[in-house]
Structure 1
Amino acid sequence: MDVFQALVLALIQGLTEFLPISSSAHLILPSRLLGWPDQGLAFDVAVHLGTLMAVVFYYRRDLNDMLVGSGRALQQRRMNPPLRLALWVALATVPAVLAGLLGDRWIEDNLRSVLVIATTTLVFGALLWMADAWGRQQRGLEQLGWRSVLLIGLAQALALIPGTSRSGITMTAALALGLRRTEAARFSFLLSVPVILGAALLKSRDLLAQPQPVDWTLMALGVVVSAVTAYLTIVFFIRLLERVGMLPFVIYRLLLGAGLLLWLS
């Protein structure tokens, strides 16, 4: 992988990690459509670290409140909103962790095809449109119960399938359960912190076990470009979401899925 390919892939990761359009699909497509080599474990770790830094910085106040408030709640032996939100994030993360441990290898071997990406892009794009158009959009995170949180977590587990989009499927579930758009996005992005951190740690473990040398220049490029791009994407997305909703991303998904099916035919 040369510098140009690394730059493009880092931009793709930063742009698509938090938009409801599937980062995994967009990272797979260059190798499938253009014949680019696989970016490798080291670069995967770098771009995941970059996007993790972006979401942690954007939601630093929420994360600090969860940490400090949870400590205060434990001292006082009384539930409070920050501890409840932290528990909800933890609960919604469990299904994705279990699904990853049980099915990640099988998905890696069997579902990383253009046909699967095209199908999931279309299907989950349509579901996102229906949830956005028909959801009540009246609830905040403080009104979530454990059943709703678990449903969002189960939806997140589906994001292991390429083309689904982790942010897209969690926001779809949250909107269908009646959350407001900005609250659905906020919960989805907070859920990304343990998921991205866990993925980066697992990939780092595998990276330490492989004998190939690491290109630190490409690693640094991946971290910086994905971090800056992801942060700007979050800012842009939240502002756009308040004005126009999910429709632009639904249209993009439908066009992308249809284009991929035409390319396959």
Structure 2
Amino acid sequence: MATAPANNLPLFYNGLQPLSSTEHATWKARNIDTAPWLVSQHAIPVTIDEFAAAQRFFPIVFTQGKDAVPIALMGMNEGINTFVDETGKLIDNVYVPAWVRRYPFMLARLRPDSDELSLCFDPTAEAIGPFEDGQPLFEDGKPSAATNAILEFCRQFEEAGQRTTAFMKELFELNILIDGEVSIQPEGSEQPFVYRGFQMVSEEKLRDLRGDQLRKMARSGMLPLLYAHLFSLQVMREIFGRQVQQGKGPRLGQPAPAVIEA
């Protein structure tokens, strides 16, 4: 889930360019306080390594289809992120998904006939460039400590992505995913807002699994992940409340159903 061909760029990325010790010898990376590209993103992919931390702040659900992935909902409606202001600055002390922290870097395959991954970056990002300030990406023609740290983070992200892919494969084999639906009826609204367009674990199907299956899931660490997902669903109403409080919709008195499109 962490790599993508050039014609199918991942979320946030407008392009991918390999980081080069010759072409980018004097470039630096700098910290940025805002992420404008995050303002309109309500759903962010997460790995299973993040479930324990993310479930305290966001509902964790699964996208639809055979290539489903776990996502954290930062808003209940498409285009709405309740955790950043209009400039993309975080407005709360909240867990930031690794997918967000990795940007603008990522490991990617430069050739379809090779499994080798290279450190690449989004050339449109404002966090990397020929700046006077910031952390050097290369020193004496070699990757700097900052670049090595970035590379290690991206490697760990790739490994977490592989574990997540294996988790999703096992989840489908168990056949315990169902089409999700959440109905929220706030005070003052004649009809509830109904959210669909995602998958979730069926508690009934989970309870009906054989004892040997449950023991295997408990030993592998899968069972706690499923409960982290189920517990996180309670946060949906909190996210809905944040939207209403922030005036980001849906508006009370407008009973038309809303749909999560992730």
| Shorter-chain TM-score range | under 0.3
Normalised by the length of structure 2, the TM-score is 0.27
Larger strand proportion, structure 1 or 2? 2
Normalised by the length of structure 1, the TM-score is 0.27
Of structures 1 and 2, the larger Rg is shown by 2
